[in-house]
Structure 1
Amino acid sequence: MSEKKEIIDKYIDETNKKNIPDKLPAIATRAKMLIYPNTVIPMFVGREKSIKALEESLEKYENYIFLVSQKKIEEEEPKVKDLYRVGTVARIVQLSKLPNGDYKVLVEGIKRAKIKKTVESKKIFMFEIEMYNSDLKTDKKIEALVRKIKELLKKYMELTKKFPQEAILAIEETSEPEIISDLVASIMPVDLDEKQKMLEIQETKKRLEYELEILAREIELLEIEESLESTVREKIEKNQKEFYLREKLNAIKEELDGKEDDEIKELQQKLKEGDYPDFVIKKAEKEIDRLNRMSPYSAEATVIRTYLDWILEIPWNKKSQDNLNIKEAKKILENNHYGLEEPKERILEFLSVRQLSKNSKAPILCFVGAPGVGKTTLGKSIADATGRKFGRISLGGVRDEAEIRGHRRTYVGAIPGRIVETIRKTGTMNPVIVLDEVDKLGTSFQGDPSAALLEVLDPQQNKDFTDHYLELPLDLSEVIFVTTANVIHTIPPALRDRMEVIYISGYTDIEKFKIAKKHIIPKTLKEHGLTQKEFNISDTAVKEIITNYTREAGVRSLEKTMAKVMRKSALKYVQKNKKINITVSNIHKTLGAAPFFDSKKNEKPDIGVVTGLAWTAYGGVILDVEVATITGKGRLITTGQLGDVMKESAKIALSLSRKIVEKMDKKYCEEFDKNDFHIHLPEGAVPKDGPSAGVTLTTAIISSILKKKVRNDIAMTGEITLRGKVLPVGGIKEKVLSAYRSGIYEVIIPQSNEKDVEKIPEEIRRKIKFNFAKEILEVLEIALIGGVENENK
């Protein structure tokens, strides 16, 4: 079988040799990839001499051409002496012309051949060639060489991982020494000299031995490289690998277009053009450098980009210019708010000090008052009057300290605190920031936000306030902080100590009327698309709404009720196209039945019934305190939803009453032993608490013991002690106004509250008779008909 194959191969070889001309046009190749027999390889032809050789081959030499390599690849116009003497006879299989005029040629290597004689070298290379005869003898050594080369070649392909599985299978199916030899020569990544040497070795056996050496050497180098790469890979940590990949990516980008990452460039440009302190620039440069070294798709890169956005958007050195024109500021405050003289005066004082001294620290104002009295809008007016930006932070229900100080960057989804967020939003370092509902801060396992506010609101500390997220000092010393609260006692003492408390009492009916006429009605008219030609509301109707449809210290419900009137009037106007007039006679058709009616004074004096004055979040009210003595064992019964403090006041009042009547006459002592005292406050569904009913309760109990009637035209308030001292209470203004609305024009209040009378509007103060009491006997002498002097005697 082997002999038969040799005969066939010899016949084919002789046939090919006869068909190939002895003289062929030649192309000087300058690629490291030489063309060997038994291979099909594409090549590009662009030089004029080579293109002419192609044309000559196609026209006269049956597509045969001689391919010989240049000794120096960079030589553009090689001579015959610049060419190797041995090349490959090839056949042109396919030819296509490219748009630039070059040719793409697919050639098939046929035979090794050497240059015998130069026929022409000016227009084209034309050589007389002598072809190498194939060495067709196969012995056991050649078979062993082929087997070993196939084994090493397969291993080489697996190590390089550059060859498809089909190529490995093709090698396994091939056993021809010549084909294996040429295949190895074509794929080995060696120098041109070694490539040429594999082409020039004529004897197959020697060529296989030489290729075996090269294969073994290349495999050894690949194994060493793989070992080194594996060792290095084990030592490199994740961040180092990302750094390597990032650098490699940058190198590729620079190689492609020489451009840096657009995002990095934008951040650097922003840092360069912005006005930032040195410590911010230093921190930003460090973070940009870190970002530049890591993969843009990593989670940490996203965190760094967000952090850089924050620190570069904070207005570190931007401040708005204060409006120090006192007259203009006063005009703005008067236009925005009616009344509120004390807060307005305090704002003007601040501006005056700023005008005289540029180094004065911003105040920490705390407006305390009932809902709807204008605490928050007063903060906006401060911003308007000073020409500063305005920001608002709602603290109601905040339980997490991080809401103030920010989250540390180690946490997922970390962001700065609300202080930093508001500074960024306002765009200046000296805005007016209102901290709403500071009395409703909570505490939890996440920390105490009120403690975090200590640094924010302390003028001695907030110059270097540090947010946990930014980790950079932020100067808050020029921020005007305005806090608001409904009550002061729920604010922690340490926090309250840092604030200047300004109490804002509720509005009187007269003040509400003026606010409605000046602010609320024009505003709601505009909001509902009405004009004075289309809508009119009488003054008496406005007063009716204030008196019987709203009951509050502020004007929030008044504004809502007025908006309701406007909506219904707008509907009527659209339907009838006729001017709408709202009067006191038709207001109930628009709003329905009035939900409130002012309490009226008792029709006549009575025993054990005393009119007391109370304060609520909606303003002052009058309460009838009723005491009845019933047969019993001296127990105290309380009804009417009394709170713990008021129950304690009732116990004090009972003990004090016994002490007082014992001094009058011993016969009254029996009344305490054989009777129970039932104290009741009407409107039992409404919770009532506070110490200010002490004098009222004591008066009612003594009235029921002495069987003396209490005046129905007088109301009272005040805390009582076991010694009979009358202590001051709050809400005097609201309480007196409630008495005035109820038709009571004489009140008893503690002597210590005499200073609070000045806050009551003068037009009401003139109509009210004030009795100032230091002790309970003074109250009893005024309130009880007939007094208690005769009893003492």
Structure 2
Amino acid sequence: LVCQKEDDKEDISPEDLYQVGTVSLIKQTFKLPDNSVKCVVEGMFRVRIRDCPQTEPHFTARIEILEDVEEVDREELENIRLTIQAQIENFLHLGIPFPADLLSALSTQQSLGRLADLLASYLLTTKEEKQQILEEAHVGRRLEKLSNFLGEELRKLRLQSQIMSKVQEEMGKTQREYFLRQQLKAIQEELGETDEGTAEINDLRKRLEEKKMPEEVQKKAMKELDRLARIPSASPEHSWIRTYLEWMIDVPWTERTDDKIDIQEAKKILDQDHYDLEKVKEHILDFLAVIKLKGEIKGPILCFVGPPGVGKTSLGQSIARALGRKFYRMSLGGIRDEAEIRGHRRTYVGALPGRIVQGIAQVGAINPVFMLDEIDKVGADFRGDPSAALLEVLDPEQNKSFTDNYLAVPYDLSQVMFICTANVVETIIPALLDRMEVLRIPGYTRDEKLRIARRHLVPKQIKEQGLTEYQVTFSDQALYEIIDQYTREAGVRNLEREISNICRKVAREIVTREKTGLKVSAKDVEKFLGVPKISPSQIEDEDKVGVATGVAVTPIGGDILLVEATIYSGEGKLILTGQLGDVMQESAKAALSYVESKADEFGLTKDFFKKTDIHIHVPEGAIPKDGPSAGITMLVALISAVTKKPVKRDVGMTGEITLRGRILPVGGIKSKLLAAHRAGIKTFVLPAKNEKDLTEIPREIKSSLDIKLADNVDDVLQYTFVEEAKVTPLESQVSPRKRKPVTVQVSELSG
């Protein structure tokens, strides 16, 4: 009998067998249910296989008998036997049972080689160790190997015994505490002292023990629970501590959702949910790819900036869907109290965690997609600055140990994917903006809105109003009518609202007049929505003196900005009205200085400006305005006023001016061109250095606008003035009494 080296190998060769085995006597055989045979054998003596002359149909082998090699020094062998006997006693102390005949053989067996074989067969656990004993013909070395193997087994057993002792000790403490609590419960029941308070404490204790928390948090919670048990239930502090413990249980500490990042699937989701926005989508997919490779979120916070209704919030929802994470939106508009972010200290009545922790508790996972909506609307007052509190929340290096004032223990926000949205970035504090990666979504063109309505808005509203696609359809002209006459905006929020209004009215007609369906045409729109809310164009009806058309970026996208200038006899004052900011006022002064320096070219006398007051007004005075991009518009309006030359009404412009007449680049070009397109402007004058921004402009916008690039004021003037037209001075349309401004900001002119 020889042992196979690899037990799971079926097709074996002589090389797969150990070379040393035994010649054995078959004592008994058993036939098993699977037709295999089990044999009981007795080993007679060791043998070594010399070769295998036959392998089919069965193995045959030539063998040589291995006799035991006895040591001459019987005293040394006896010492080894005594060592092994002591090891056996240690096995017995560790609770390892031994057969009686084996213990008897230990004291009576005369052949030490035979004794080593008996002990090895019973005590050694691995096939390799037993084979080493079998192959050792030298009795002394066989006993030494056996003693070494037994020593190693003893070491393992002692280690296991120590571990089991510790486990049993801990289990003993737990069981003892459990039995004591059960006894206490039984005693209280016998005395009739069991009340709702005790049951509540026991319930909280059980929930805290089952909740997976960091060790520090668990200790804090248990300490508060012990306090709760000692405080009378009528005490106000009792309810405060109970509420605190409920929050500690409700807040997720280790619960998370598994990320399922598939870039192709994420792209499919983004394309399904949003039309166009290719650059933004590409950036989001790059961001998700990095998360997939690194396995963590560590980097700038994404901040979507754009007008209302362009899809900023829904982009966050799509990202959550692509990641397989839960989504939570927190609106920051109007928040002025720092405690809204960090939470209230528990010393205050009605204290609660901050809205960050509340939101995470609501979704029940420590790794949601958390949207901070309208982050540009955060304010500050005597209660603190929420923007400063957000610095820690949005900093990947610090938010791993964010401390909410209410919980008063560190909370890990590093696994939360924060996304911010804003209409403008100017009101965001620089330190906070520095932590964000800004992705701008400027707005949609007329044709893009049509396609968005077709793909998303119309099907959604038909479903929400209980209709089917067979009951109501919209023609393209009807949708264009809604876009042009009822919803001039950068996004599509109002467009969706008006489509919803029409669907409701169609539903009413179907119910009351028993119609089967209706196709909404352009002429039906006014019947359903009433008189158009927006005129087809915002530009002037005719070319006028002293009126120039600029374009500005506003929180709702781009918009037309008319600048009016008029002159009249006076003392050389410059009057600015229309709630102009400091930068805009300086642009007006720079425009005036440029005109004064070029007085000869404009045919003006040297004392013209000493005897003339100049009034520049930007309509819609209730709205604050600022920025340098209206500089060229103010200059054109001023030149028109002093030269009595009318400005082309269908020419829009933007750009900052210098005293030398250079035109400097400005921002927000896409939003401004979209606004010009919506307002019906035909020609648009743009700083030459903004030419690179035209790559982002949709083709339909560039084809509808005649875009002129200007390096200096002379370039601008050749595109803006009417050469031969009837002059309509602005001051001739205003009575002398109305010329006097109500709001006056005066700066004395020099020279």
Same topology, TM > 0.5: yes
Q: Is the 8 A contact 2:424 2:555 kept in 1?
A: no
| 2:333 corresponds to 1:396 | yes
Q: Which residue in 1 is equivalent to 2:290?
A: 353
Q: Is the 8 A contact 2:537 2:680 kept in 1?
A: no
Classify 1:407/1:628 alpha carbon distance in 2 versus 1 (closer, same or farther; 3 Å).
Answer: closer
Cα distance in 2, alignment partners of residues 280 and 739 from structure 1? 58
| Residue aligned with 1:367, SS | strand
Give 2:533's aligned amino acid: P
Q: Which residue in 2 is equivalent to 1:303?
A: 240
Q: Is the 8 A contact 2:602 2:643 kept in 1?
A: no
Displacement after TM superposition at 1:727 (Å): 2.8
Q: Which residue in 1 is equivalent to 2:409?
A: 472
Cα distance in 1, alignment partners of residues 186 and 408 from structure 2? 34
Classify 1:742/1:292 alpha carbon distance in 2 versus 1 (closer, same or farther; 3 Å).
Answer: closer
Displacement after TM superposition at 1:677 (Å): 3.1
Matches for 1:763-774 after TM superposition, within 5 Å: 763-774=700-711
| 2:425 corresponds to 1:495 | no
Q: Which residue in 2 is equivalent to 1:590?
A: 528
| 2:515 corresponds to 1:580 | no
Classify 1:643/1:503 alpha carbon distance in 2 versus 1 (closer, same or farther; 3 Å).
Answer: same
Matches for 1:263-282 after TM superposition, within 5 Å: 263-282=200-219
Q: Is the 8 A contact 1:541 1:587 kept in 2?
A: yes
| 2:188 corresponds to 1:253 | yes
Q: Which residue in 2 is equivalent to 1:554?
A: 491
Identify the match of residue 417 of structure 1 among 339, 342, 354.
354
Classify 1:571/1:305 alpha carbon distance in 2 versus 1 (closer, same or farther; 3 Å).
Answer: same
Give 2:188's aligned amino acid: K
Displacement after TM superposition at 1:258 (Å): 10
Cα distance in 1, alignment partners of residues 347 and 626 from structure 2? 48
Cα distance in 1, alignment partners of residues 348 and 621 from structure 2? 52
Cα distance per residue 1:438-460 (max 9 Å; x no partner)? 22222222222211111111111
Classify 1:594/1:642 alpha carbon distance in 2 versus 1 (closer, same or farther; 3 Å).
Answer: farther
Cα distance in 2, alignment partners of residues 411 and 514 from structure 1? 53
Cα distance in 1, alignment partners of residues 403 and 620 from structure 2? 52
| 2:687 corresponds to 1:747 | no
Q: Which residue in 2 is equivalent to 1:570?
A: 507
Displacement after TM superposition at 1:668 (Å): 4.1
Q: Is the 8 A contact 2:488 2:678 kept in 1?
A: no
Give 1:455's aligned amino acid: E
Cα distance per residue 1:690-724 (max 9 Å; x no partner)? 43221012123223444555445532111223333
Q: Is the 8 A contact 1:746 1:768 kept in 2?
A: yes
Q: Which residue in 1 is equivalent to 2:18?
A: none
Cα distance per residue 1:576-604 (max 9 Å; x no partner)? 12222221122211111101013265677
| 2:560 corresponds to 1:622 | yes
Give 1:567's aligned amino acid: R
Identify the match of residue 372 of structure 1 among 309, 321, 324.
309
Q: Which residue in 1 is equivalent to 2:674?
A: 737
TM-score (norm 2): 0.67
Q: Is the 8 A contact 1:363 1:480 kept in 2?
A: no
Q: Is the 8 A contact 1:362 1:477 kept in 2?
A: no
Classify 1:284/1:779 alpha carbon distance in 2 versus 1 (closer, same or farther; 3 Å).
Answer: same
Displacement after TM superposition at 1:520 (Å): 0.9
Identify the match of residue 479 of structure 2 among 535, 542, 546.
542
| 2:656 corresponds to 1:719 | yes
| Residue aligned with 2:614, SS | strand
Identify the match of residue 698 of structure 1 among 597, 611, 635.
635
| Residue aligned with 1:366, SS | strand
Displacement after TM superposition at 1:565 (Å): 1.0
| Residue aligned with 2:599, SS | helix
Cα distance in 2, alignment partners of residues 495 and 534 from structure 1? 50
Which is worse superposed, 617-626 or 284-293? 617-626
Displacement after TM superposition at 1:415 (Å): 1.3
| 2:587 corresponds to 1:649 | yes
Displacement after TM superposition at 1:650 (Å): 2.4
Displacement after TM superposition at 1:259 (Å): 7.6
| 2:481 corresponds to 1:523 | no
Q: Which one has a bigger Cα radius of gyration?
A: 1
Q: Is the 8 A contact 1:363 1:481 kept in 2?
A: no
Cα distance in 2, alignment partners of residues 637 and 677 from structure 1? 6
Q: Is the 8 A contact 2:581 2:627 kept in 1?
A: yes
Q: Is the 8 A contact 1:711 1:785 kept in 2?
A: yes
Cα distance in 2, alignment partners of residues 391 and 736 from structure 1? 35
Identify the match of residue 315 of structure 1 among 228, 244, 252.
252
Displacement after TM superposition at 1:679 (Å): 3.5
Q: Is the 8 A contact 2:445 2:701 kept in 1?
A: no
Cα distance per residue 1:55-89 (max 9 Å; x no partner)? xxxxxxxxxxxxxxxxxxxxxxxxxxxxxxxxxxx
Classify 1:587/1:571 alpha carbon distance in 2 versus 1 (closer, same or farther; 3 Å).
Answer: same
What is the Cα-based RMSD across aligned positions, in Å?
3.0
| 2:427 corresponds to 1:504 | no
Q: Is the 8 A contact 1:373 1:555 kept in 2?
A: yes
Classify 1:683/1:440 alpha carbon distance in 2 versus 1 (closer, same or farther; 3 Å).
Answer: closer
Displacement after TM superposition at 1:743 (Å): 4.1
Cα distance per residue 1:108-152 (max 9 Å; x no partner)? xxxxxxxxxxxxxxxxxxxxxxxxxxxxxxxxxxxxxxxxxxxxx
Cα distance in 2, alignment partners of residues 606 and 636 from structure 1? 21
Classify 1:609/1:684 alpha carbon distance in 2 versus 1 (closer, same or farther; 3 Å).
Answer: same
Displacement after TM superposition at 1:357 (Å): 1.5
Classify 1:568/1:291 alpha carbon distance in 2 versus 1 (closer, same or farther; 3 Å).
Answer: same
Classify 1:269/1:730 alpha carbon distance in 2 versus 1 (closer, same or farther; 3 Å).
Answer: same
Give 1:615's aligned amino acid: V
Classify 1:322/1:370 alpha carbon distance in 2 versus 1 (closer, same or farther; 3 Å).
Answer: same
Cα distance in 1, alignment partners of residues 602 and 640 from structure 2? 15
Q: Is the 8 A contact 1:362 1:479 kept in 2?
A: no
Cα distance in 2, alignment partners of residues 253 and 713 from structure 1? 90
Which is worse superposed, 251-260 or 504-513? 251-260
Cα distance in 2, alignment partners of residues 679 and 257 from structure 1? 88
Classify 1:365/1:254 alpha carbon distance in 2 versus 1 (closer, same or farther; 3 Å).
Answer: same
Give 2:235's aligned amino acid: S
| Residue aligned with 2:610, SS | helix
In structure 1, list runs of 5 or more residues that go unmatched: 1-245, 788-793
Cα distance in 1, alignment partners of residues 602 and 221 from structure 2? 86
Q: Which residue in 1 is equivalent to 2:270?
A: 333
Displacement after TM superposition at 1:618 (Å): 3.8
Displacement after TM superposition at 1:271 (Å): 2.8
> Sequence identity, in percent?
53
Q: Is the 8 A contact 2:300 2:435 kept in 1?
A: no
Classify 1:285/1:722 alpha carbon distance in 2 versus 1 (closer, same or farther; 3 Å).
Answer: same
Cα distance per residue 1:522-559 (max 9 Å; x no partner)? 11111111122221221101101101101222211111
Matches for 1:75-94 after TM superposition, within 5 Å: none
Which is worse superposed, 580-589 or 423-432? 580-589
| Residue aligned with 1:271, SS | helix
TM-score (norm 1): 0.63
Classify 1:360/1:587 alpha carbon distance in 2 versus 1 (closer, same or farther; 3 Å).
Answer: closer
| Residue aligned with 1:672, SS | coil
Displacement after TM superposition at 1:461 (Å): 0.4
Asked which structure has the greater RCO (Cα within 8 Å, sep 6+), the reply is 2
Matches for 1:141-152 after TM superposition, within 5 Å: none
